[in-house]
Structure 1
Amino acid sequence: MVKVGEYNTLSVIRMVDFGLFLDDGKEGILLPKRFVPAGVKVGDELRVFVYHDSEDRIIATTQDPLGVVGDIIALKAVSTTNQGAFLDWGLMKDIFVPKSKQLGTMRVGGIYVVHIYIDEQTGRVTATEKVESMLSNDVLELKEKDAVKLLVYRRTDIGYLCIINGKHTGVLHFSDIYQNIQVGDQLNGYIRKIREENKIDLALGERGYQRIGGEAGKIMELLDSNGGFLPYHDKSDPEDIYDNLGMSKKAFKMAIGNLFKQKLIRIKDNGIEKV
């Protein structure tokens, strides 16, 4: 059974001047000539994406859309009408967002986070801005320190609300952001903390010392091997720091400053302590 809005592997049943037809158990689905790979013959199987063209016919393409049915992605609006807006999703025909499925007025050039679905009335691939009902933290498939894929959803008073792996939500706090980001950005991150009621705090990059690297990573490893405490601070003797940590005092101060900003250590009067 052919699934509209998804990838399908279909057999070539006949060749024509303007393309070829793929087996759908009926009359066949057209793959236009411009998308036919070289050397294809009757009987071959092709992996294609299936959707409706501008004339409402089911058609196949070897192009890759930016998302398939079920995905939550960020897309750019390229045109608007009284009925809705069209977003570029990587195919010749743009995807439609009805007015009733918009949270506000979509404008050309704007980036919008949408969910791709099949409209029950038309059977066409459609998009909606109303994505929050598809997201839940009630049952988490995650734990602290897990690496995750993030989609920046919207700005809040404390940071950016992000969609995690297309299923959950979490907050990337302003204090943990060290780069310019905006709604629609896709980022690599990890779960910093899971709070009460499964509220999630996020961080960017890779977790642990691989993410930190360099002298800062070395300090974190030494903290781990010394019970979470090192008796060195910004007023320690440079020779003591070099003899025991193998780095200059300047490098040490820069590293602990970085770790402190990331809330990985506390700087005390008698040394540094792992959080």
Structure 2
Amino acid sequence: MNKQLGQIITAVISEITEKAVFAQKNGQTYQVTSEVEKQVGEEVSGLAYLDQNDRLSLATDIPIAEDRYDWAEVVNVQRDLGVFVDIGLPNKDIVVSRDHLPDIRQLWPKVGDRLYVTLEVDEAGRLWGRMATQDIFQQKAHKGSKTQHNNDIKGHVFELRQSGSYIITSDFYLAYIPTEEREQEPRLGQLVTGRVIGLREDGILYASLKPRAHEVLDDDAQMIYEVIKRSDNHKIPYHDKSDPEAIRAFFGISKGAFKRAVGRLMKQDLVEQDETGTRATQLD
């Protein structure tokens, strides 16, 4: 086994041709796959690896290496092997083994999803992608704060559990999505959008993938709710006993449509109603 594979090595330029640059280290000759302005005899550092044709290669633009993590996009999926990710190596995609993917095939990453990975080398010198664990993310992540409550949040799923899913945002906040706060289980590597609903003692955010109550309202309910929000004291002088013509003149809808819309708002606990009118409950 070539113990240099998967390592950052320093080799000496041994040959320069019109098509390629070669460098040697401990009797091994590597083709330099990145553009370098070097002369024969000068040193060059890079990641040693075997390309897709099993040729010894050296990449000076080092995207990911052992113990160095970064995002990698899924470019291919093979049921019998795992998923291939692009870590920026010329002529080489890296496999994340099916052994480290969910048992349920539908939860595997799809092409275009992203995984946060590092490299590992097996006994045969082959490179594999290894996904970061929650411990790795916690070392890098910021602690959340209560001021983020109800903020929109977007991140990639990096861990699946029976009780919920963990995501990491682009600005490196960790969030946990309980099973009851999603309509369906997201797949590993999927980019999801939700909102912050709480904060754990360890600084991890609680998040929900379900829409806010007002985001699932129909047009009439949304229109009435917007009117209420803009009204003095967040209240309108209309209720289920109001004159139908007064409702139609003000809202442009029938009394029946008004009652159905207000009923939806009340079901979402967004408004309450009495004989004086209808008022918002969550805006005081």
Q: Sort the TM-score into its range (normalised by shorter chain).
A: 0.5 to 0.7
| Partner SS for 1:220 | helix
The answer on 1:223 being equivalent to 2:228 is yes
Residue matched to 2:116: 115
Residue matched to 1:16: 19
The answer on 1:140 being equivalent to 2:144 is yes
Alpha-carbon distance in structure 2 between the residues aligned to 1:202 and 1:53? 42
Q: If the length of structure 2 is used for normalisation, what is the TM-score?
A: 0.52
Residue matched to 2:12: none
Aligned mate of 1:170, from 165, 173, 176:
176
Alpha-carbon distance in structure 2 between the residues aligned to 1:251 and 1:231? 17
1:70-109 alignment, distance < 5 Å:
70-71=70-71, 77-80=77-80, 85-89=81-85, 93-97=92-96, 102=100
Give the length in aligned residue pairs. 222
| Partner SS for 2:118 | strand
| Partner SS for 1:183 | coil
Residue matched to 2:44: none
Call closer, same or farther: CA 1:21–1:248 in 2, change over 3 Å. same
Note the alpha carbon deviations across 1:86-144, whole angstroms, 9 max, x for none: 31336974423368x8376x687760584312448999874334532234476127723
Alignment-mate amino acid for residue 280 of structure 2: E
| Partner SS for 1:133 | helix
> Which one has the largest radius of gyration?
2
Q: Does the Cα contact within 8 Å between 2:94 and 2:129 map onto a contact in 1? A: yes
1:47-86 alignment, distance < 5 Å:
53-54=51-52, 55=54, 56-58=56-58, 69-71=69-71, 77-80=77-80, 85-86=81-82
Residue matched to 1:161: 165
| Partner SS for 1:189 | strand
Alignment-mate amino acid for residue 115 of structure 1: Y
Q: Does the Cα contact within 8 Å between 2:176 and 2:206 map onto a contact in 1? A: yes
Call closer, same or farther: CA 1:223–1:133 in 2, change over 3 Å. farther
Alignment-mate amino acid for residue 24 of structure 1: V
Residue matched to 2:280: 273
Alpha-carbon distance in structure 1 between the residues aligned to 2:60 and 2:106? 28
Call closer, same or farther: CA 1:239–1:196 in 2, change over 3 Å. farther
Alpha-carbon distance in structure 2 between the residues aligned to 1:75 and 1:258? 44
| Partner SS for 1:148 | strand
RMSD: 5.0
Note the alpha carbon deviations across 1:6-25, whole angstroms, 9 max, x for none: xxxxxxx97539xx964235
Unpaired runs of 5+ in structure 1?
5-12, 29-49, 62-67
